[in-house]
Structure 1
Amino acid sequence: MKINENTLLEGHRVVLVPYNAQHVPRYHEWMKSVELQQLTASEPLTLDQEYDMQRSWREDSDKCTFIILDKQQWADPSVEEEQCMLGDVNIFLTDPTDPTLAELEVMIAEPSYRGRGFGKEVTRMMMFYGVAKLGIKTFQAKIGLSNEVSILMFKKLNFKEVSVCKVFKEVTLEMTVDEDVRLRILDEMASVKERDYRQTCSNRQELSS
């Protein structure tokens, strides 16, 4: 999605940046993991296919993707951005007739970052972005039944279970963003800073040289 191609979002412990070609090699290494393939219902791709996928995620109008960075590492300009990567987060506009309906997907790929609240912060930041910039009014999350940690996290964020598909072995959770919820999300995440990604990268390069 073009809308976030130059957007950086800075939270308390994470930074969200556009998914660029420089991120693909590490992302490709992540997706060799059978565990991550199962958790994300993904098929393994070649490196060239991964680059094609990155380009489609950048260009397609129904996908909004950010790479998640460890803010503490990223704060050191001598550390390459790719070394700060810990996962990704996506919004998919799944219904062409309803652009206010979005599926939300979060992947904490680095095992050492799981179970420490990073997924929750990222999810809340992406909901903030979806409400503020994309006009999302309904969020859905489709999660494998075996992924109890993610299911619990979304329920703690006030998502409600709406269906279970035994064929695909997944549960669909949903949150309706009425005016009260919209204002609450915007208020709770008011500390999120939006920056110009290219300018920030340029500043980091100057500081590291």
Structure 2
Amino acid sequence: MKLNSNIKIKGAHVLLIPYEKHHVPKYHQWMKSTELQELTASEPLTLEQEFDMQKSWREDEDKCTFIILHREKFEETNEEIASMIGDTNIFIADKEAERGEIEIMIAETWARGQKLGWQAVILMLMYGIQHIGLKIYEAKISLSNNISIQMFKKLGFVEISLSEVFQEVTLERHVTDEWKIWLQKQCEFKIEKYKN
């Protein structure tokens, strides 16, 4: 989505930046992991396919993605690639209904268990509400990914369906004024211009 191609979102411990071509090789390395493929219900892609996917996420109006950086590491090193820990996406599932599907992945094992995914997903939820105009969120999560299921339930998502065939659960959350206020209290949220 071109809407987010020139901005970054700052949280207390993470930065969300646009997914650029120079991020693709590291992302491709992550997605060779069978664990991540299973947790994200993804198929392995060739490097060329990964570059095509990055271009699609950048240009298609129904997709919004950010790479998650570890903020402290980036501020120490000023190196995006070394600071990459995962990504977060919104796919506009139904523009008329203002419904978006949200995803989060913390790929770097050293960055897990620090509430960085929690913070990144809240930033993405807030961005989707304020800048894309979403009113309903859904999250489709592998049944084996109990950590993500519990995180989204803590965010107020409720289960609406379970697929034994695809081995995934679909959770949903309607945006309310009270929830927006609650999200804003969870973490710092600041949008700045993104520069390479």
The TM-score bracket by the shorter chain reads: over 0.9
Query: C-alpha displacement at 1:190, in angstroms?
Result: 7.2
Tell whether the 8 Å contact from 1:128 to 1:189 is kept in structure 2 after alignment: no
Please name the residue that 1:65 is paired with.
Answer: 65
Please name the residue that 1:9 is paired with.
Answer: 9
Q: What amino acid does structure 2 have at the position aligned with 1:162?
A: I
Question: Highest Rg: 1 or 2?
Answer: 1
Query: C-alpha displacement at 1:191, in angstroms?
Result: 2.9
Tell me, in whole angstroms, the C-alpha distance in 1 between the residues paired with 2:116 and 2:188: 16
Tell whether the 8 Å contact from 1:7 to 1:194 is kept in structure 2 after alignment: yes
Query: Over residues 17-73 of structure 1, what are the superposed CA-to-partner deviations in whole Å (9 max), with x where a residue is unaligned?
Result: 000001000000000001111111111111111111100100000100000000011
Tell whether the 8 Å contact from 2:11 to 2:187 is kept in structure 1 after alignment: no
Please name the residue that 2:52 is paired with.
Answer: 52
Q: What amino acid does structure 2 have at the position aligned with 1:54?
A: Q
Query: Over residues 61-86 of structure 1, what are the superposed CA-to-partner deviations in whole Å (9 max), with x where a residue is unaligned?
Result: 0100000000011102x442111000
Question: TM-score, normalised on structure 1?
Answer: 0.90
Tell whether the 8 Å contact from 1:10 to 1:192 is kept in structure 2 after alignment: yes
Tell me, in whole angstroms, the C-alpha distance in 1 between the residues paired with 2:10 and 2:42: 28
Please name the residue that 1:108 is paired with.
Answer: 106
4+ residue runs over 6 A deviation: none
Please name the residue that 2:116 is paired with.
Answer: 118
Q: Which runs of 5+ in 1 are unaligned?
A: 202-209
Tell me, in whole angstroms, the C-alpha distance in 2 between the residues paired with 1:111 and 1:130: 27
Tell me, in whole angstroms, the C-alpha distance in 1 between the residues paired with 2:50 and 2:144: 26
Query: C-alpha displacement at 1:182, in angstroms?
Result: 2.8
Tell me, in whole angstroms, the C-alpha distance in 1 between the residues paired with 2:141 and 2:9: 25
Match of residue 196, structure 1, among 173, 193, 196: 193
Asked if 1:161 corresponds to 2:195, the answer is no
Asked if 1:80 corresponds to 2:79, the answer is yes
Match of residue 144, structure 2, among 142, 146, 164: 146
Q: Secondary structure at the match of 1:93?
A: strand
Tell me, in whole angstroms, the C-alpha distance in 1 between the residues paired with 2:12 and 2:187: 11
Q: Percent identity?
A: 49
Tell whether the 8 Å contact from 1:89 to 1:107 is kept in structure 2 after alignment: yes
Please name the residue that 2:26 is paired with.
Answer: 26
Question: TM-score, normalised on structure 2?
Answer: 0.95
Please name the residue that 2:176 is paired with.
Answer: 178
Q: Which runs of 5+ in 2 are unaligned?
A: none
Query: C-alpha displacement at 1:152, in angstroms?
Result: 0.6
Query: C-alpha displacement at 1:176, in angstroms?
Result: 0.6
Q: Secondary structure at the match of 1:66?
A: strand
Tell me, in whole angstroms, the C-alpha distance in 2 between the residues paired with 1:11 and 1:116: 14
Please name the residue that 1:205 is paired with.
Answer: none
Query: C-alpha displacement at 1:189, in angstroms?
Result: 5.6
Q: What amino acid does structure 2 have at the position aligned with 1:67?
A: I
Tell whether the 8 Å contact from 1:65 to 1:90 is kept in structure 2 after alignment: yes
Residue correspondences, number: 196
Please name the residue that 1:40 is paired with.
Answer: 40
